């Protein structure tokens, strides 16, 4: 199997949480006890958990406890393991907000019209008032999932 217990426990917690929200993961070969581990593979000890749906969520649980959560195949959030589960939970619970990357002083209709130019930032709150933010690439600003998100103040 080749996984440390912390990474395996995090993967199990992700699977349990996502099942509560009706999201099914794709198969996770790294957690299959019958799969041989390639000792030369640089991803050894890493588990990739993929949940389809809106948004698609890909979680890279890394052996060094520095994980990556990718939303809709376009926006990456680098998180320490302590925040990974909560970040994914916030996405599933609908707590993701969008805000303009710039142009806040413009009237709302004009800001909406120019958001492709200025871009959008996703904001995801986790514990203790901490908020993870990441800019959406300008060619993905029109993603249906992103445009349906409520705007933060």
Domain presence at residue 113:
yes
- Distance (Å, rounded) from C-alpha 20 to C-alpha 151? 26
DSSP for 114-145 reads: THHHH-EEEEEE-GGG-EEEEEEPGGGTT-HH
Print pLDDT tens along the chain (153 aa).
Answer: 456 788 889 999 999 999 999 998 888 766 655 455 554 554 556 888 999 888 999 999 988 899 999 998 889 999 999 999 999 999 999 999 988 766 555 666 665 666 555 678 899 999 989 999 998 876 665 567 777 888 876
Answer whether residue 107 is part of any domain: yes
Domain range holding 134? 5-146
Work out how many domains the chain is built from and give that number.
Answer: 1
Distance CA 139, CA 141 (A): 6
Domain assignment present for residue 152? The answer is no
Rounded to two decimals, what is the model's pTM?
Answer: 0.80
Give the number of other CB atoms < 10 A from CB of residue 69.
24
User: Does the residue 153 lie in any domain?
Assistant: no
């Amino acid at each position: 199997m080749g996984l440390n217990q912390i990474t395996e426990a995090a993967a199990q917690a992700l699977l349990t949480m996502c099942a509560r929200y009706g999201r099914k993961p794709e198969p996770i070969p790294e957690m299959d006890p019958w799969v041989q581990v390639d000792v030369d593979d640089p991803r050894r000890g890493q588990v990739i958990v993929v949940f389809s749906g809106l948004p698609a969520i890909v979680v890279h649980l890394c052996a060094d406890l520095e994980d990556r959560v990718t939303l809709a195949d376009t926006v990456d959030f680098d998180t320490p393991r302590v925040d990974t589960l909560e970040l994914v939970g916030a996405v599933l619970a609908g707590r993701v907000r969008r805000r303009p990357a710039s142009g806040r002083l413009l009237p709302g209709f004009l800001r909406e019209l120019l958001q492709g130019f200025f871009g959008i930032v996703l904001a995801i709150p986790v514990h203790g008032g901490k908020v993870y933010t990441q800019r959406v690439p300008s060619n993905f600003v029109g993603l249906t999932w992103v445009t349906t998100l409520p705007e933060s103040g």
